[in-house]
A = this chain, B = another copy of it.
């Protein structure tokens, strides 16, 4: 609880001199510097971050808004953001929204300009209107979601292209009854991935029935399992499925196995996100692997530039990705 004042009294100098020593400013007489440093050590002084930031006009925090940290993809992403934030001396405040609009709006509203220096948000259900006049008053970056037509920086991967590559891969292994799991008109990424799916089919003149486009409200294992169950119950079941995230895919794989289908022999599965587990599952999962570290870094860097007054046009940063081919498509 020692303050600059306490240290100053002990060292016999002014408060400002101590402040100068602490901040490495200006010229301080060696003699005094020594005394101040001793006093600092003796009192165990720690700067009051709140007061400092009040004075400096920054907070030292950035916010990260995600649906749920318990979703591996967001856990991994958050880890990357924290790491990247540290390079700019930022700590990360994490808020969860369960992917629902009300909490998303509420969270944005609570992020006063005085609470954080910036916000990285992963919108799930936000509407364009919710973002048109920046509700936080602070630099923002949108992750993943690209469909919102708002003048806010965005970082993500080319979803259309990624989906195209995933489906091409299925086609190249000779599959021609290719389904998708995860259609959801409320999710911009879903719409884009679906477009990529159709592109890839069209490229080779393949057509698949509309029942092959399986919707999913949430993107959890359970949803993938349920969707797969419905697909396999079709008169003509698909021989490959492209899932819009890895959890859907793992759920789908399990549902298939429960019904006696072998992956990939009977039905091949591709996921999206490349979460840690997908490398070790049985079968291991072929999946689109975005460079999550690069994603986090780019987002944090954008916030950093903006908060330093950069007012260049809105940016849309594309992050590289790869297709990780694993057992679920190599039989």
Contact = CB atoms under 8 A, between A and B. Distances in A.
A251 B70 CA distance: 20
Interface string A65-84: 00011111011101100110
Contacts of A91: 93, 95, 115
A112 B49 contact: yes
A69 B78 contact: yes
A59 B50 contact: yes
A49 B111 CA distance: 10
Given A72-B75, A82-B96, A114 B282 contact: no
B95 A50 contact: no
Interface string A14-50: 0000000000000000000000000000000011111
Interface residues of A, number: 48
A164 interface: no
B83 A79 contact: no
A92 interface: yes
Contact of A276 (B47, B53, B137, B221): B221
Contact of A94 (B72, B82, B250, B253): B82
A206 interface: no
Contacts of A114: 46-51
A314 interface: no
A71 to B, nearest CB: 7
Interface string A192-231: 0000000000000000000000000000010001000000
A277 interface: yes
A279 interface: yes
B51 A78 contact: no
A48 B57 CA distance: 10
A69 B75 contact: yes
A69 B50 contact: no
A198 to B, nearest CB: 29
Nearest to A68: B79
A99 interface: no
Given A68-B79, A79-B96, A82-B96, 17 more contacts: A48-B54, A48-B112, A50-B50, A50-B54, A50-B114, A54-B54, A61-B93, A69-B75, A69-B78, A69-B82, A70-B79, A74-B75, A221-B279, A254-B280, A254-B284, A281-B282, A282-B282
Interface of A: 1, 46-51, 53-54, 59, 61, 68-72, 74-76, 78-79, 82-83, 91-96, 112-115, 137, 221, 225, 250-251, 253-254, 257, 276-277, 279-282, 284
20 contacts: A46-B137, A49-B115, A50-B115, A51-B114, A61-B93, A69-B75, A69-B78, A69-B82, A71-B75, A74-B75, A78-B78, A91-B95, A91-B115, A92-B94, A221-B276, A221-B277, A250-B280, A251-B280, A253-B282, A277-B277
